[in-house]
Amino acid sequence: MAKLKLARFQQAPVTSGLLALNVLIWLGQISPLGYMFTNSFFFAPLFAPWEPWRMLTAGFVHDWSGPLHILLNSYAIWIFGRILEPLLGPVRFLAMYLTSIVGGSVAVMWLSDPQVPVVGASGALFGLMGAYFIVVRSRGGNATQIFTLIAINFGLGLFVSGISWEGHLGGLVTGLAIAGIYSQTRAREKRLQQIFGVFLVWGVLYGLTMLKISTWM
C-alpha cells in the first residue's frame, strides 16, 4: 500500500508540488502575519496595469476564513492532475495549469467589477476539467460525465454568491484551448507547432489584457 501511494506521487510530481505550495501559502494566510500573503497575492482587475503578476499569484491563495475552499480545490486538482500529468508530461501539464490561472484572471478583468478581489485555484481547476474533456473526446470516449460535472460546477457559480464564475469561465476556455492544441500536435514532428500554439494563447491573453487596460486610461 505504501509503495502504491508513493508511486502515485511520483507519477504526478508537479500536481503534488502545486498542492503542497497551495497548502503552505494557505497556512501562511491563517498565520498572525497572514494578511501579508493575501494582500500580496490576490487579484483585482484594477491592479493589472501596475502589478500584473497578481493575475497568476491569485491562483495560489484561497479563502482564509476556513479550510473548505482550499480542501475542495485541492481534492479536485489532485483527482484531475494525477490523470492528466502522466498523459501530458510535467512540463505541458504545468504550462496548461498556469495558463488557465491567467486565463481566468483575464476573464475576471472583462466580466466582473474591477475593484472586487478574487482568490483561488478554481480557474486552473476548470482548465484541468476542460482539458480532461478534450482528452476523453480525442480518445473516442464518452464525455457525458465530465461535461455534466463542468456544467454543474459552473452553474453553481452563477447562483451562489461569492463565487467567481468569470474566473471559472476563463480557466475553462483556456484549458480547452491548450488541450486542443496538445491534442492536434501530439506527433513529435509537430512539437514546434505545439509550442507556437501555446505562445499564441499567451499572446491572445496578453492582447486582451492590454485592450481592457486601454479602456481604463
For Cα atoms 25, 31, 33, give the angle at the middle one, nearest 5 degrees: 95
Q: Contact 166/111 with Cβ under 8 angstroms? A: yes
Grid coordinates given for 153: 460546477
Known active-site residue 138: no
- Active-site option among 100, 105, 122, 164: 122
Known active-site residue 69: no
For Cα atoms 34, 36, 41, give the angle at the middle one, nearest 5 degrees: 105
Ramachandran angles phi, psi of 43, nearest 5°: -120, 130
Q: Contact 103/173 with Cβ under 8 angstroms? A: yes
Ramachandran angles phi, psi of 118, nearest 5°: -130, 150
- Give CA–CA dist 156/171, Å, rounded: 16
- Active-site option among 100, 168, 183, 214: 168
Helices (H), 30-67: 34-41, 54-57
Grid coordinates given for 55: 493575475
Which of 170, 168, 149 lies closest to 160 in space, CA to CA? Answer: 168
Q: Could you give the residue numbers annotated as active site?
A: 122, 168
